[in-house]
Amino acid sequence: MDPIAQLRKNYTFGQLSETEVSPNPLNLFQVWFDQAVKAECPEPNSMTLATADKAGNPSARIVLLKGADEAGFTFFTNYESQKGKELAIRPQAALLFHWHELERQIRIKGMVERVSAAESDQYFHSRPAASRIGAWASPQSAEIPNREFLEEAEKAFASDFGDQPPRPEHWGGYRLRPTEIEFWQGRPSRLHDRIHYQLEGNHWRIARLAP
């Protein structure tokens, strides 16, 4: 048998009941996120972002959550990247958080929209100067000839802007407004707890799913 197929883990950390969770999934998300931070999970705000192109072909990558509230889940990127182009065509996406240390996952689906220019400006100018220069230097997802291309672009933009580069028009934020959120808690014998929230109008319907 393939050694990968023999990998096993028995989940025993916690439990989750549909009769005890908050009626609002954003409250439960905040509780779990705070616990992931307290548990010192590596980069607790890292999440998988899944998008699809015009033909429906999916793609996924890790991005960083930069805000979570009643309005939704916010992240920032290059609008001309693959994910940016796909979101322009299909403004639906899925997010996945996985906190291995707590034996937990959160799956989120929803509609995606750009945040305001003012919100993008505010976050952009909070970043280190080198990261702001990098937003100019990298034509994200485009084919480039070599590493030196990036390094030369970085030097050129640093020379032009110094340590006060403005936000590029092609860079900014997105907010995913959730319509479904699932909380997954690992349990023994693969009988995991899965609590699913579905937005119906202004109300969240709560249900337990089989593992």
Which residues carry out catalysis?
190
Q: Binding site annotation covers 190?
A: yes
Q: Binding site annotation covers 192?
A: yes
Query: Is 176 in a helix, a strand, or coil?
Result: strand
Q: Binding site annotation covers 179?
A: no
Say which DSSP state 190 is in.
Answer: G
Residue entry with tokens 């030369």: 152
For the chain, report the end-to-end CA distance as a whole number of angstroms: 25
Q: Which of 56, 47, 141, 129 is nearest to 90 (CA)?
A: 56
Q: Binding site annotation covers 197?
A: no
Q: Binding site annotation covers 127?
A: yes
Q: Binding site annotation covers 65?
A: yes
Q: Binding site annotation covers 206?
A: no
Q: Binding site annotation covers 16?
A: no
Q: Binding site annotation covers 9?
A: yes
Which three-class secondary structure string do you get for 65-131?
A: CCEEECCEEEEEEECCCHHHHHHHHCCEEEEEEEEHHHCEEEEEEEEEEECCHHHHHHHHCCCCHHH
Radius of gyration of the chain (CA): 20
Detail the residues annotated as belonging to a binding site for FMN: 61-66, 76-77, 83, 105, 140-141, 184, 194
List residues forming the annotated binding site for substrate: 8-11, 66, 123, 127, 131, 190-192
